[in-house]
């Protein structure tokens, strides 16, 4: 059975399969393989949870904008949370890399780098 570490590593090694990235505050919502996920980078409660949390939204078919806004009001969004401090060291490192990748993907930095390299 695949683990959260396996899923994060797959996302990191095939970033072109990330089809959408939406930022809301310190959280990046994204789709991979048709599924909805998010990564939160926190500045508070780091000792309790870690710097990052990875969220899985099984069955979410709505827009990522709607998902990101759904937490402003009480809502029944099914999710599974993986806090950095609860994960093995290898996964913690991968989660940090994933957060950076999503930031770059949202801002199309990879395309800018392609332009620079192909000059």
Q: How many CB atoms lie within 10 A of CB 29?
A: 25
Examine the pLDDT at 75 and tell me if it is beyond 80: no
User: In terms of Cα–Cα distance, which of 29, 54, 34, 41 is closest to 106?
Assistant: 29
3-state class (DSSP) for residue 19:
strand
**pLDDT tens digits, 81-97:** 999 999 998 888 999 99
| pLDDT recorded at residue 47 | 87
Instruction: Starting at the earlier edge strand, list the strands of the sheet with 52-57.
Output: 18-24, 27-32, 35-41, 52-57, 80-83
Examine the pLDDT at 18 and tell me if it is beyond 60: yes
Task: Categorize the per-residue pLDDT at 46 as very low, low, confident or very high, splitting at 50, 70 and 90.
Answer: confident
In degrees and rounded to multiples of 5, residue 23 shows phi and psi of -100, 140
**pLDDT tens digits, 90-119:** 888 999 999 999 999 999 898 898 899 998
Buried b (16+ CB within 10 A) or exposed e, 57-86: beebeeebeebbeeeeeeeeeeeeebbbee
Distance, in Å, from the CA atom of 46 to the CA atom of 87, rounded to the nearest integer, reads 14
């Amino acid at each position: 059975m695949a683990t959260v570490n396996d899923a994060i590593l797959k996302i990191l090694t095939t970033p072109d399969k990330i089809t959408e990235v939406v930022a809301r505050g310190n959280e990046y919502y994204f789709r991979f393989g048709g599924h909805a996920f998010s990564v939160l980078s926190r500045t508070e409660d780091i000792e309790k949870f870690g710097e990052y949390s990875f969220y899985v939204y099984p069955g979410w078919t709505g827009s990522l904008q709607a998902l990101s806004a759904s937490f402003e009001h009480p809502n029944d969004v099914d999710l599974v949370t993986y806090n950095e401090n609860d994960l093995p060291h290898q996964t913690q490192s991968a989660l940090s890399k994933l957060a950076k990748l999503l930031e770059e993907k949202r801002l199309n930095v990879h395309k800018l780098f392609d332009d620079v390299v192909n000059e």
